[in-house]
Structure 1
């Protein structure tokens, strides 16, 4: 696509972990936007922000996004604040604002800063905004008491200056439109989108090429379980025992188990920063002094004091991905004076996420029930999203539908591609959530 041409529509897959943008070309196709500069990771832009104090910046706080946010954070972890997966609070009435260097940031404030930096790193390809912007949204939002209307309000405020016409479409429907471009005959398809925060399903009837309306959505469903939850299972079962969970300590003449509350913040690596305060550190040091095995508590203290939450979870993610191609993987972490190494077996990982997989399969069954379509009537299954590569997830679909009906590809990019194609439909509102 000519970088100087004006796109007819833009597809924005704003994900919990990664964000991808595609531009429709006006001729029935779309092209991914590759980001430019040292540190760029092709069309995949990490959904992350880094903040640091800078006198010349707005309100004295400067920011960066994407892979550049990671670089800024790693250069100076103690003098910056790193925010990832902020999409997960979009629908949460419990979240009002985050205080960063004494300044309040609402969800929409972070979203606007994120998009500004995304545009700046796009090498000029997003300087001219198309008339239509098609934004992916999950079928079910993550978080307790999730409020879709609140999420819509926040998204509108975040995206108000990003496009003239905004349409919100369920993310698996974007993937369905992308997959439909590969099909040459009519079919009823099930799309399963495994993101960072949610797993979503859509059932779509695909008409023959050249039909007035190629795709007809039948039903959608979702559950707030996905890649981030799987990471948390590894942390809980593999990492936290190496940091003192399940250990014991002396209290006067009694031997007691270390309270689990000390480990609850490790469920979300970004919350580790909140533990870096004098009161918490002093409590942990007293606990270390009284612990039967003080060394694991010492590791926890070092991780907190040296802001090692992001590198720790990054190492967890690498081990999880390695298990998709091997029966076992090495978990290795070095940082803040702490070294942790352990072998994790795929069989153990699958046992840790077994309950999550049951809930995911139940969400798929809900989509089939809403569509009034039986499993045998599904012609093709399209799997997308990074966690779709996990063998235990693939096994669900092999068992229910047969491997011959399953397709995949473009795990991180198919949604944005399809959203841009929806933007070229005569009336994208027909697809709007």
Structure 2
């Protein structure tokens, strides 16, 4: 009996399915209940050289008072050729080493469930890790290397929106055919496909002709959070602060590069570089917003960016159900209480929404079909719940064609369903 895992290693969350005896089953990877089907894709290293992943990493990070090194959104570094490795408490870790830690934990949980070693896996990948083909190739190579370090020998890749389509296909009755537009919204990328699906037990040896078009854009959940941070919260950390450069009398703004890095939660640890921290210290000496610069120093030294962005994400999610929300956060001398409305959120993210809309239109065009010829729109991922995202699809296809179920596990389930394509 051949057993193969399907792993959706995501920017924010990861999930696991298993294919055995011709069926696919979702497994819990970070707990014992249904919520355990998702594991936060985070790592925590403490000063005792212990390494934690998932919810355990978050709990340990909190209990240790944020001392140590907390890492998130690791997937976004895969195509970054300028980031090869990092030193943590005297030990150097490559990007593949960091990913391997998470994959190894998921693999162990899966093997515990099935009761035997498993060395075969179908890994999900976005349609575009990067718009640069060379960087895209590097990202996939790094992910494969990480999987081998985690103990997998047979490794296949499946596009995440195609995997979501396979999950949708499993819900169809035997012989039922559909042409479906898949929208898979992750933390780092939004990926789309138009694919022909058919319910029932039939040959899946080659599905290439069923995939009518693919596309993706590097805009997703994290980008929306970053935009809110930039426009609503970064003012508390010196975005609008001025200072006098050494030996000069005119006022200048805090470097945009510092604030831009601050607004990408996975890159905040980069501000710990000695040269950057010294620059910030010099800014504080002459700034007209001393408290804001102290807040900037504190978020870097105390490493509380994760919790701040959780507050931003919470407010964003609440806007899917209500017209207004509050970004509320307290840490040291910092008190953030910023009201944000749904219309304001949509205005701030107008460019991000436009990039997604343009990609949707491009994927439809390259499929050779009109929107009226597409039977169903299947949306997956947390960002697919944003009302304006749903509106983009309703405008093109009609509200009655939109489906959204198993928003966080469809890709992992579809990766398990993809196994017969490879083995």
Deviations 1:44-72 (A, max 9, x none): 01111111233xxxxxx321111111122
Per mean C-alpha deviation after superposition, the further-off stretch among 311-320 and 136-145 is 136-145
What's the TM-score, normalizing by structure 1?
0.88
Equivalent of residue 9 in structure 1, options 4, 11, 35: 4
Other-structure match for 2:191 = 200
Question: Hey, what does 1:237 align to over in structure 2?
Answer: 231
Q: Is the 8 Å Cα contact of residues 16 and 106 (structure 2) preserved in structure 1?
A: no
Q: Say whether the 8 Å CA contact 2:69–2:88 is kept in structure 1.
A: yes
**Correspondent of 1:34 among 21, 28, 39:** 28
2:215 touches 2:363 (CA, 8 Å); kept in 1? Answer: yes
1:355 corresponds to which residue? 351
| Separation of aligned partners in 1, 2:406 and 2:34 | 18
CA distance in 2, matches of 1:159, 1:293: 47
Name 2:147's counterpart in structure 1.
159
Match of 1:22 in 2: 17
Shift of 1:333: 0.9
The alignment partner of 1:32 has SS state of: strand
CA shift in 2, pair 1:294/1:181, >3 Å: same
* In structure 2, distance between residues paired with 1:247 and 1:148: 37
Distance 2:278 2:405 in 1: 50
- Contact 1:187–1:207 (CA<8 Å) still a contact in 2? yes
Specify whether residues 102 and 163 from structure 1 end up closer, same or farther in structure 2 by C-alpha distance, changes over 3 A only.
Answer: closer
SS in 2 for 1:88: helix
Of 203-212 and 373-382, the range deviating more from structure 2: 203-212
Q: Does 1:391 align with 2:412?
A: no
Question: Which whole-Å CA distance do the structure 2 matches of 1:76 and 1:408 have between them?
Answer: 39
1:104 paired to 2:99: no
Secondary structure at 2:188's aligned position in 1?
coil
Contact 1:119 1:126 in 2 (8 A): no
1:296 corresponds to 2:313: no
SS of the residue 2:112 aligns to? coil
Q: Distance in 2 between matches of 1:42 and 1:246?
A: 42
Shift of 1:199: 0.6
Aligned mates of 2:118, 2:111 — CA distance in 1: 16
Correspondence 1:185-196 to 2 at 5 A: 185-196=176-187
**2:126 matches 1:138:** yes
Contact preservation (8 Å) 2:189, 2:217: yes
Q: Give the Cα separation in 2 of the matches to 1:132 and 1:145.
A: 27
Answer with 274-283 or 329-338: which moved more.
Answer: 274-283
Cα distance in 2 for residues equivalent to 1:89 and 1:221: 20
Q: CA RMSD in A?
A: 2.6
Is contact 2:172–2:198 with CA below 8 Å preserved after alignment?
A: no
Give yes or no for contact 1:194–1:388 (8 Å, CA) kept in 2: yes
- 1:170 counterpart residue number: 159
Q: Residue deviations 1:209-250, cap 9 Å, x none?
A: 344349622221111111111111011000111222123345
Provide the rounded CA distance (Å) in 1 between the counterparts of 2:286 and 2:120: 62
Deviations 1:230-272 (A, max 9, x none): 1110110001112221233456654444442331221322433
Q: TM-score, normalised by structure 2?
A: 0.90
Correspondence 1:47 to 2:41: yes
Deviation at 1:145, TM superposition (A): 6.8
1:365 Cα deviation (Å)? Answer: 2.1
